[in-house]
Amino acid sequence: QVQVVESGGGLVQAGGSLRLSCTASGLSIDHYAMGWFRQAKGKEREVVSCISGSGRLTFYADSVKGRFTISRDNAEKTVYLQMDILQPDDTAMYYCAAGVKTELAGMTYYPVRPATADYWGQGTQVTVSS
C-alpha cells in the first residue's frame, strides 16, 4: 500500500524558514516525479514545485522562485521543500504528491494542468504571521 506522508509544517514569522519533508512508502520513488502543492483557504490548489525522478529537473511557481528549493533523497524515499523568506501569502495547507504528471518541452520542465498525480498526502499546515 502506497503512503505519502508530509511533515515539517508549523507557525513561523514572516521572513523565517521552514523545511517540509515528504516520505513515500510502498513505491519505487525514483521512478516518480514528486511535487508540492498548496491550498489556501478559499482558494484553489496550486502547484508550488516539482522534481523529476532523478532530481535533475525542477519546476517552481513564479511566486516561490528564489525562495523555495525542492530536493529529494531517493535512498531515503524522501522529498524536501526548503522554504525561506516566508511571507503571509505562503500560508496554506501544503500537500506532497507522488507521480505528478509533468512535461518537458525543450529545456522547460513543468507540471501538466490541471495538476494530476497518482498519490497524495494528507497535508501539513504552514502558517506565516506578519
Compute the average pLDDT of residues 33-55.
Answer: 96
45-86: pLDDT as tens digits: 999 999 999 999 999 999 999 999 999 999 999 999 999 999
Give pLDDT, residue 84: 98
Give pLDDT, residue 115: 86
115-125: pLDDT as tens digits: 899 999 999 99
Is residue 111 within 8 A of residue 35, CB to CB? The reply is yes
90-115: pLDDT as tens digits: 999 999 999 999 999 988 999 998 88
Amino acid of residue 81:
L
Q: Where are the beta strands (DSSP E) in 14-91?
A: 18-25, 34-39, 46-51, 58-60, 68-73, 78-83
Residue with cell 490541471: 114
